[in-house]
Structure 1
Amino acid sequence: MIENHRPETIYGTTIVTVRKGGKVVIAGDGQVSLGNTVIKGNARKVRRIGKDGQVLTGFAGATADAFTLLDRLEKKLEQYPDQLMRACVELAKDWRTDKYLRNLEAMMLVADRDTTLCVTGNGDVLEPEGGIMAIGSGGNYALAAARALSDSKLEAEAIARKAMEIAASICIYTNDNLVVESMDAAS
């Protein structure tokens, strides 16, 4: 059960990222729940942004808030081209200090060829341990599954898909309608 669960609040999402074998992948489910009702099963919470779509993103939290943050991140990427870390740090600073942005309820996973990060409204810009990170209501399930599978012969995308499948079988706010984006990682 979600602590302080409010039935009028939209919940649901699981996003996982895996970096392995020269690939980086972000996968997310499509479920959006309002209370105990699924109001949309095919939301697209994973997408490419930036110049030529060279940054993968996945978001969890309020959809409108997440789109606001994605728009802000794209502007930061224009300001700091090919500097994902710098763009994310600048976004986190704004998110934490701007009166309007401070109220946004969302988290993001972002990745490019070199870097994978989690950006939060608390001002956090975190790199994953072992190239794996997950957010959202089913994030802990996907994270545990992906970590368990990381030593296997499976490739990054197969690990992300299996981790999402496991999360969807456990978390009632996660479904198996996946969107998966991948790209070659730096050597």
Structure 2
Amino acid sequence: MTNETNPPIFHGTTILSVRKNGKVVVAGDGQVSLGNTIFKSNTRKVRRIGDGSVVVGFAGATADAFTLFERLEAKLEQYPKQLTRACVELAKDWRTDRYLRRLEAMMAVVDQDVSLILSGTGDVIEPEDGIIGIGSGGSFALSAARALYDIDGLEAEDVARRSMKIAADICVYTNNNIILESL
């Protein structure tokens, strides 16, 4: 239902990160939905930032995510080669800053050594298995990635692509237009 008090809500993101055999990938679908309508099918939700050694995927409001990308890049300049510290400092700002705390997004942030989930509630979480799934289809992609992870011959990119396809087959807010960045 859409009216003055309940405006249409943008839905749709599946972000998945898989770390395996010395490689890490972040994959994101391209769909944005407004209510029950596909609004856009080729949105780029995964980006390299800084000097290219950090990959970020976002779920949530696009303008909010771009604001957070910029803030994270600034933190990485302030704390070079210290992704965890930069993310903790961003999470502190995100939670306490009057403007930032209204931003609605989650981020999967990775470099060669660490994978992190950032949220507006101040969370900076490093998953114990190196797999992250966020967004509307994130739990589907995460489940698929965990099931596929131990299959011999599947590398991080293979696991991510297959898992994203499974998520797209289940979640109506996820499509098969996958962008994948690898380190």
The verdict on a shared fold, with TM-score over 0.5 as the criterion, is yes
1:56 and 1:181 in contact (8 A); partners too: yes
Residue pairs, 1:30-179, within 5 angstroms: 30-51=30-51, 53-153=52-152, 154-179=154-179
Cα distance in structure 2, aligned partners of 1:77 and 1:177: 29
Name the aligned partner's letter for residue 25 of structure 2: V
Residue-by-residue CA offset, 1:80-122 (whole Å, 9 max, x unaligned):
0000000000000000000000000000000001110000000
Q: 2 CA distance for matches of 1:114 and 1:63?
A: 27
TM-score, length basis structure 2? 0.95
SS where residue 148 of structure 1 aligns? helix
Match in the other structure for 1:180 = 180
Residue aligned with 1:180, SS: strand
TM-score by length of 1: 0.93
| Aligned-partner Cα distance in 2 for 1:150–1:7 | 40
What RMSD in Å do the two structures reach over aligned CA positions? Answer: 0.8
Q: How many residues align?
A: 177
CA contact (8 A) 1:12 1:173 kept: yes
Q: Matched residues in 1 for 2:130 and 2:113: separation? A: 11
Deviation at 1:9, TM superposition (A): 1.1
Unaligned ranges ≥5, structure 2 = 1-5
Shift of 1:30: 0.2
The one-letter code sitting in structure 2 at the alignment partner of 1:78 is E
- The AA in structure 2 aligned to 1:166 is I
> In structure 2, the residue corresponding to 1:172 is in which secondary structure?
coil
Listed one character per residue, the Cα deviations across residues 105-153 of structure 1 (whole Å, up to 9, x for unaligned) are: 0000000011100000000000012111110000000000000011112
Residue 7 of structure 1 and its aligned partner are, at CA, apart by 6.0
1:16 matched to 2:16? yes
Secondary structure, aligned partner of 2:162: helix
The residue type paired with residue 171 of structure 2 is C
2:26 is aligned with 1:26: yes
Moved over 3 A (4+): none
CA distance in 1, matches of 2:62, 2:110: 20
Structure-1 separation of matches of 2:122 and 2:140:
24
Residue 3 of structure 1: aligned partner: none
Q: Secondary structure at the match of 1:96?
A: helix
Deviation at 1:22, TM superposition (A): 1.1
* Cα deviations by residue, 1:50-98 (Å, 9 ceiling, x for unpaired): 12x1001100000000000011000000000000000000000000000
Q: C-alpha distance in 2, partners of 1:22/1:40?
A: 34
